[in-house]
Structure 1
């Protein structure tokens, strides 16, 4: 592992966080006039105590099937975005970027997504088939041909591509809403459990 990676891991570790909290208490004591002239030593000592006594971060070596699946989909999405960079008009790139943001949000909920085969299928096919197919067909057209309409009421290839991306975006937002509703329901269920166990709660969403 590179040194920079080790530094970043330590900065986000429990030991560093606890050490920093105690060091801040040392600084507060200095500002209140309680640490005396040796306040730098006090601050450093408090940081060291916190870093030494804090529990180590849990080691997590196992990777769930959900993480494996969504990690592969994220890699495919990133690869697609790299391949199309600069090849399309700005409005197409903007539409694809908006869709990619929705996809990333959905993929971040690995367990919830993979628990629903239908939703996972929509996400997977969007990344690996639907979106690439439309972009590829458009990219193979001459630019002038793509922008021209063949008939009065017929969309140009450019308009057709944007319409397809909009359809995918709308469908993926339904998937995202379903996942968020599941999270909200889990929160409500937890609230009911806590109210049954401990009484009323100010966290009641109902």
Structure 2
């Protein structure tokens, strides 16, 4: 004959309640009720007194608070992004690019290195999730796709010249990405300028009080 088993988690919930602040506080109050009983203050109603004190203690105890989830620190994402930039640079070093594109690409990677350099600059970047997203998108998708599309299109163009120059398209794409990175830098700079002006106003207002 099959025997019924407690539902999964019942024992765990029971043990959690035994260790909870509500049970501990209620038990402490109930012990106080027993002490009153032993001294004769509770009389024949001691079970009611003990139960009532336990319930009162359980009610006033703070509720069980589950631990808040812990998420990775934003700076840890930048650590991974630095490693990805190194991988990207190793890939780019293997590609034969036209001089103009190479120069534009070098300027762009310098911007990336400056933004990701460990220190207060990268900390300012980490505090802006949208900026991190833009930077990660450029490293993970936009730059590799631009260069790879150039390599593939250039091969087909050598077999059968097309209407568009792949070198020109690559330079336009890199210029757009460079402009996007410059806008990101400008946004971070503006945030610092706002912070500086806010501190100035705070000092001015404090001086007038």
User: Shorter-chain TM-score: which interval?
Assistant: 0.5 to 0.7
**CA distance change for structure 1 residues 142 and 164 in 2, over 3 Å: closer, same or farther?**
closer
User: What is the CA distance between 1:194 and its match in structure 2?
Assistant: 2.2
Question: Given the two structures, how large is their TM-score scaled by the length of structure 1?
Answer: 0.56
Alignment of structure 1 residues 13-92 onto 2, 5 Å = 65-85=73-93, 87=95, 88-92=97-101
Alpha-carbon RMSD = 2.5
Gap runs ≥5 in structure 1: 1-63, 200-206
Residue in 2 that maps onto 1:27: none
Other structure's SS at 1:150 match: coil
Aligned residues: 132
8 Å CA contact 1:106–1:175 kept in 2: the answer is no
Q: Distance in 1 between matches of 2:73 and 2:187?
A: 21
1:150-174 deviations in Å (ceiling 9; x for gaps)? 22xxx31111011111111111111
User: What is the CA distance between 1:67 and its match in structure 2?
Assistant: 2.0
Gap runs ≥5 in structure 2: 1-71
8 Å CA contact 1:113–1:179 kept in 2: the answer is yes
**CA distance change for structure 1 residues 80 and 98 in 2, over 3 Å: closer, same or farther?**
same
Q: Distance in 1 between matches of 2:151 and 2:112?
A: 22
Which one has the largest radius of gyration? 2
